[in-house]
Amino acid sequence: DGGITQSPKYLFRKEGQNVTLSCEQNLNHDAMYWYRQDPGQGLRLIYYSQIVNDFQKGDIAEGYSVSREKKESFPLTVTSAQKNPTAFYLCATTGTRRPNEQFFGPGTRLTVL
């Protein structure tokens, strides 16, 4: 059963804590992305990675960090430096067979208490 999994589905964080959101894919896709979506807003790119061990900042990278040690995995850490982290976080991938489509995971909803 191929696809993208994100965990957890819901995450609650206290102010000042770092949290890591998981994104795993078994689609054999090279490119992976992290987006943030706020209520009533579109998606804003946080980080993206075209290949293993390489990643680039997107439009709103401040307060976030990522790693890409494996092709299948692209975890996102929301650090305490992110001032307003409450949002819906979406992971996406793109493969070479269907470069016209970004496939999205189910998302993680992060709430800061």
Partner 1 sequence: QKEVEQNSGPLSVPEGAIASLNCTYSDRGSQSFFWYRQYSGKSPELIMFIYSNGDKEDGRFTAQLNKASQYVSLLIRDSQPSDSATYLCAVNMDGSARQLTFGSGTQLTVLP
Listing DSSP states for the chain in one string gives ---EEEE-SEEEE-TT--EEEEEEE-S--SEEEEEEE-TT--EEEEEEEEETTEEEE-TT-TTEEE--SBTTB--EEE-TT-S---EEEEEEEE-SSSTT--EE---EEEEE-
Decide whether 16 or 42 has the Cβ nearer to partner 1: 42
Q: How far is the CB of 60 from partner 1 (least distance, A)?
A: 12
Decide whether 59 or 69 has the Cβ nearer to partner 1: 59
Q: How far is the CB of 16 from partner 1 (least distance, A)?
A: 28
Q: How far is the CB of 80 from partner 1 (least distance, A)?
A: 27
